[in-house]
Amino acid sequence: MDRISWDQYFMAQSHLLAMRSTCTRLTVGATIVRDKRIIAGGYNGSIAGSPHCIDEGCYVIDNHCIRTIHAEMNALLQCAKFGVPTADAEIYVTHFPCLQCCKALIQAGIKAVYYAQDYKNHPYAIELFKNAGVKVEHVELHEKVIDLSKISQ
């Protein structure tokens, strides 16, 4: 039996998380990993208890939906809420992080960012990651990484 790589495993998890997104403009998922263990996950959506984009539409200002919290931030906030350290952890994200998420990831001590799709890759974000020594790697999810026919019954 062939096993999928760790990168594909964690990126698949991020894509599953993205399926929970409540923003209609872009679905994003993020998985924070330390020592090959998932410590948190997040997707872009509204603050708990507030209206969601899927219910009331996106709240767009300057071509950006301000109703949602980004997937990376939700994953980091989950760690903060439950007292899980993020220093030296890695994050797998379906899309390249925005500039604000980039800064938060660096401040949280994330040492590597793996992303599946380019998305408005801000030059300053790339520079900040480089200056902070954060590894950034493009890791596409292979289309058939989850093949249910290979699962024994």
CA distance 76 to 106: 11
Buried b (16+ CB within 10 A) or exposed e, 97-128: bbeebbbbbbebebbbbbbbeeeebeeebeeb
Q: Kindly list the strands in the beta sheet with 29-34, ordered across the sheet, starting from the edge strand earlier in the chain.
A: 37-43, 29-34, 90-95, 112-117, 135-138
Q: Residue 103 CA to chain centroid, in angstroms?
A: 14
Query: Which of 72, 90, 140, 143 does the annotation list as catalytic?
Result: 72
- In the residue annotation, 72 being an active-site residue is answered as yes
**What DSSP element (H or E) covers 94?**
strand 90-95
62-67: long-range pairs with CB below 8 Å, 24+: 65/23, 65/25, 67/23
Residues designated catalytic: 72
